[in-house]
């Protein structure tokens, strides 16, 4: 190996460079230092083999590569290829392009030239140069920055030289407030960054005490947020939680030298000032007409789920939730749940002599919360050590449901009976049902279970499922994961549009033509386009004047192989393929819209959210409580003369067409007591004439408030 300065024009990036072929490199952190100091580390190059051409776009010509133009002479042919140093090369090219009057000698850069050898040795050298590099730790950076400060450099100059934000330079320089022993521990990764940040709050005496505690046998030095509390002598109250003006209050604060947080040194003085502000605001709220202002002290807890909204004119209160951290949260216009409704119960007992007072429970709510939180914290840490158990527990939660878990299977709702029949007999649907039945048998569940999601049954069923999953191998658990994801995948969503090409879905394998598709096509132009697809352009042109009914019959014959006609093997409509296509430029193809939304989302477009067609079942207006005389509008975008839709009042005298579908009030089942349970669209002829329907009901019938009404979940 020899060192030599080579002109930029004689260099190109080798195909063997481990960073070859990627997009234009980010040069933000290199340009400032190279502009000022030039290239300090030589590039690793080797002679270009005779007859070999440089990689396209990597220096083979001056156009589009960042190669500096040379007006005085034609560009030199590359003689060496770069094995390591692609970013330095591109930065030098960019700087040379800015300096138009520079000569070829001025644009020469230092290179370490390897001997000619095989490609394996060159690739090995490229990997070693890039992978064996070790970035300096923050303590090493601090030592270097301190030397620069002593040499007269200020923080903005250092930040500009190393392409760092000034705040990052200040944070590194803040390590100088720490004892050398602490910096050494940090350099060895024996102290995390959160602990270091809090140690910058400590005085030198506190730092020595912390080190003594850390090194004492049988002792444990606090770290993280516990260290902050240890330094502050208890609760560390951030300045940001103060309701008063901190500078004018005169209270002492201490900020960590990273400039991220500041804390009050005297908690008692903070609470005196904070409580005075709360008292003044309380008087102002009462004077403005509020019924009551309740101050929730730090040793209590405001449970939002135990309260409900109530306006001021109806007796709503203001709850001031004062927390031990110093934070104060205002809950305006609330009362305790059920306080505004009549309980329907007398204060006296059933015998009129007065109810017997219940015994005081053993634990208060605060004591129970204390014990529960500590048990919860310990179990979470232990669960991290057993991902096998965590996987099975997650599956049980997804299958049975829990307080924080709600996974629903896609209902696959079909608005017409013929569409539902076509889906039920589709090869993909039958294969899916067979696999689900086999998986249910593996878990030990009934094969007629409609879905792995929404099994319900509370914690009792959850725990039973979890116990069964513990006995299954990992392969079977992963099969359950795949089945749950497949069941809950939303129909018509952008996610589905993105997954199709990713999984390589061949719709010709899973779809069989039927007569339902032609019956759903109401556009003559589309009928002719589909006929041209399955029978050829000549057949479509010959039948250009044929009636639509005949075109549907011909198309149905091709799809079902009837009357000697047949579609090409594996043919599917363009809409059905992954990615989808169209037969006209008119738009209005939801599959293409979903595919476009997926592309926009992956491109980083924040506006690519849910639109029409994405989670369509969520976009429908649900009827939360439809009583006698209320109207359900069940019209839809694909209604035609074969559809029977109902729009009108729901009541004892409601007239619903035979076989019509009540859509908009999804009801899975109507019990004998006319209580709605579930989520589907039931044929109107099967619904009792006098029941009151409700939308999206997710509670058992036994929890319904009455025999002839339903609540929305």
| Band (126; pLDDT cuts 50, 70, 90) | low
Token reading at 72: 């005085």
Domain of 30, CATH number, reads: 3.90.1530.30
Domain limit, last residue, from 89, 107, 132: 132
pLDDT of residue 295: 93
Total number of domains in the chain: 2
Return the pLDDT at 129.
Answer: 64
User: Alpha-carbon distance 144 to 482, whole Å?
Assistant: 53
Give pLDDT, residue 496.
86
Model confidence, pTM: 0.40
pLDDT over 90 for what percent of the chain?
10
Q: Is residue 31 part of a domain?
A: yes
Quick check: is 320 in a domain? yes
User: pLDDT class for 138, splitting at 50, 70, 90?
Assistant: confident
Cα separation, 133 vs 576, whole angstroms: 51
**Does residue 676 surpass a pLDDT of 60?**
no
> How far is residue 624's CA from residue 635's CA, in Å, rounded to a whole number?
18
pLDDT at 82: 84
Which is more confidently placed, 643 or 569?
A: 569
pLDDT confidence bin for 153, thresholds 50/70/90:
confident
Mean pLDDT, to the nearest integer, of 81-98? 83
In our burial notation (b when 16+ CB lie closer than 10 A, e otherwise), range 330-368 reads: ebebbbeeeeeeeeeeeeeeeeeeeeeeeeeeeeeeeee
Share of the chain above pLDDT 70, in %: 72
Is 18 contained in some domain?
yes
The residue with greater pLDDT, 48 or 56, is 48
Per-residue DSSP letter, 684: G
Pick the residue with more confidence: 186 or 56? 186
Task: Please state the rounded mean pLDDT for residues 13-29.
Answer: 72
- State the average pLDDT for the chain: 74
What is the chain's length? 713
Residue 634: helix, strand or coil by DSSP? Answer: coil
Residue 65: its pLDDT value, please? 42
In a domain, 303, yes or no: yes
pLDDT value, residue 13: 84
**Confidence at 292, pLDDT banded by 50, 70, 90:** very high
Spell out the SS3 assignment of 136-180. CCHHHHHHHHHHHHHCCCCHHHHHHHCCCCHHHHHHHHHHHHCCH
Q: How far is CA 59 from CA 20, 67, 282, 541, 656, in A?
A: 11, 7, 72, 55, 75
Domain boundary among 290, 305, 336: 336
Across 609-633, average pLDDT: 39
pLDDT of 318 > 90? The answer is yes
The answer to the question of residue 96 being in a domain is yes
Q: Are 33 and 61 in contact (CB under 8 A)?
A: no
Question: Has residue 696 got a pLDDT over 70?
Answer: no
Instruction: Tell me the mean pLDDT in the region 446-455.
Output: 76
The answer to whether position 264 is within a domain reads: no
Average pLDDT (569-588) is 90
Q: Name which residue leads in pLDDT, 32 or 251.
A: 251
| 3 state DSSP class of 428 | helix
For 407-424, the pLDDT digits (tens) are: 888 888 877 888 888 888
Task: Kindly state the average pLDDT of the residues 654-668.
Answer: 38
**Residue 196 within any structural domain of the chain:** no
Position 272 confidence tier, pLDDT thresholds 50, 70, 90: very high
How far is residue 92's CA from residue 35's CA, in Å, rounded to a whole number?
9
Instruction: Please give the residue that has the higher pLDDT: either 251 or 380.
Output: 251
Q: What confidence tens digit (pLDDT) does each residue in 167-200 have?
A: 777 777 777 778 888 888 888 888 887 887 778 7
Structural domain boundaries enclosing 289: 275-336
Domain final residue pick, 132, 147, 178: 132
pLDDT tens column, 484-507? 888 888 888 888 888 889 889 898
Q: Is the pLDDT of residue 224 over 70?
A: yes
Residue 639 above 60 pLDDT?
Answer: no
pLDDT band at 607 (very low <50, low <70, confident <90, very high): low
Task: Flag whether pLDDT at 105 surpasses 90.
Answer: no
Instruction: For residue 438, tell me if it sits in a domain.
Output: no
Range 69-81 average pLDDT: 61
């Amino acid at each position: 190996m020899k060192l030599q300065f080579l002109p930029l024009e004689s260099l190109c990036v080798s195909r063997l460079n481990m960073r070859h072929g990627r997009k234009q490199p980010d040069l933000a952190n290199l340009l400032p230092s190279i502009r000022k100091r030039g290239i300090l580390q030589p590039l690793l190059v080797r002679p270009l083999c005779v007859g070999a051409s440089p990689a396209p776009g990597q220096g083979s010509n001056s156009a589009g590569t960042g190669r500096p133009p040379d007006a005085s002479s034609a560009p030199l042919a590359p003689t060496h290829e770069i094995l390591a140093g692609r970013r330095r090369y591109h930065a030098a090219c960019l700087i040379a392009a800015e300096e138009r009057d520079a000569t070829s000698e001025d644009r020469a850069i230092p290179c370490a030239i390897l001997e000619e050898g095989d490609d394996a040795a060159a690739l090995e050298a490229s990997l070693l140069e890039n992978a064996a590099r070790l970035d300096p730790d923050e303590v090493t950076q601090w030592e270097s920055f301190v030397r620069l400060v002593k040499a007269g450099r200020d923080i903005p100059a250092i930040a500009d030289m190393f392409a760092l934000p000034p705040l990052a330079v200040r944070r590194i320089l803040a390590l100088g407030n720490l004892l050398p022993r602490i910096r050494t521990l940090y350099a060895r990764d024996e102290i995390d960054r959160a602990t270091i940040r809090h140690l910058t709050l400590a005085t030198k005496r506190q730092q020595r005490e912390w080190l003594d505690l850390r090194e004492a046998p049988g002792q444990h030095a606090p770290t993280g947020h516990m260290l902050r509390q240890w330094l502050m002598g208890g609760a560390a109250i951030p300045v940001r939680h103060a309701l008063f003006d901190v500078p004018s209050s005169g209270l002492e604060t201490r900020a960590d030298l990273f400039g991220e947080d500041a804390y009050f040194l005297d908690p008692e003085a903070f609470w005196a000032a904070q409580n005075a502000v709360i008292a003044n605001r309380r008087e102002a709220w009462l004077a403005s007409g509020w019924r009551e202002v309740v101050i929730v002290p730090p040793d209590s807890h405001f449970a939002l789920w135990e309260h409900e909204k109530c306006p001021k004119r109806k007796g709503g209160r203001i709850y001031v939730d004062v927390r031990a951290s110093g934070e104060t949260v205002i809950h305006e216009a609330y009362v305790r749940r059920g306080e505004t409704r009549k309980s329907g119960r007398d204060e006296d007992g059933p015998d009129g002599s007065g109810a017997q007072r219940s015994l005081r429970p053993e634990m208060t709510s605060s004591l129970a919360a204390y014990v529960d939180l500590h048990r919860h914290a310990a179990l979470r840490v232990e669960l991290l050590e057993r991902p096998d158990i965590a996987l099975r527990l997650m599956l049980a939660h997804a299958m049975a449901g829990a307080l924080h878990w709600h996974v629903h299977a896609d209902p696959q709702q079909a608005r017409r009976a013929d569409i539902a029949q076509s889906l039920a007999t589709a090869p993909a649907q039958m294969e899916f049902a067979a696999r689900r039945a086999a998986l249910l048998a593996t878990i030990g569940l009934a094969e007629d279970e409609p879905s792995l999601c929404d099994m319900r049954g509370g914690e009792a069923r959850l725990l039973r499922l979890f116990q069964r999953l513990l006995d299954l191998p990992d392969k079977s658990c992963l099969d359950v994961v795949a089945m749950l994801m497949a069941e809950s995948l939303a129909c018509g969503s952008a996610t589905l549009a993105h997954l199709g090409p990713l999984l390589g879905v061949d719709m010709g394998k899973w779809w069989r033509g039927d007569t339902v598709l032609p019956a759903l096509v109401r556009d003559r132009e589309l009928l002719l386009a589909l006929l041209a697809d399955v029978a050829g352009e000549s057949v479509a042109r010959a039948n250009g004047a044929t009636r639509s009914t005949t075109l549907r019959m011909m198309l149905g014959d091709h799809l079902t192989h009837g009357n000697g006609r047949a579609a090409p093997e594996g043919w599917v409509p363009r809409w059905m393929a992954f990615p989808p296509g169209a037969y006209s430029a008119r738009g209005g193809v939801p599959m293409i819209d979903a595919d476009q939304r997926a592309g926009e989302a992956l491109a980083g477009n924040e506006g690519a959210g849910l639109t029409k067609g994405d989670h369509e079942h969520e976009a429908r207006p649900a009827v939360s409580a439809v009583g006698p005389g209320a109207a359900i509008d069940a019209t839809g975008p694909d209604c035609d003369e074969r559809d029977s839709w109902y729009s009108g009042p729901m009541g004892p005298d409601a007239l619903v067409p035979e076989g019509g579908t009540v859509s908009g009030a999804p009801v899975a089942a109507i019990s004998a007591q006319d209580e709605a349970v579930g989520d589907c669209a039931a044929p109107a002829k099967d619904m009792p004439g006098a029941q009151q329907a409700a939308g999206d009901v997710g509670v058992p019938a036994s929890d319904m408030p009455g025999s002839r009404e339903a609540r929305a979940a």
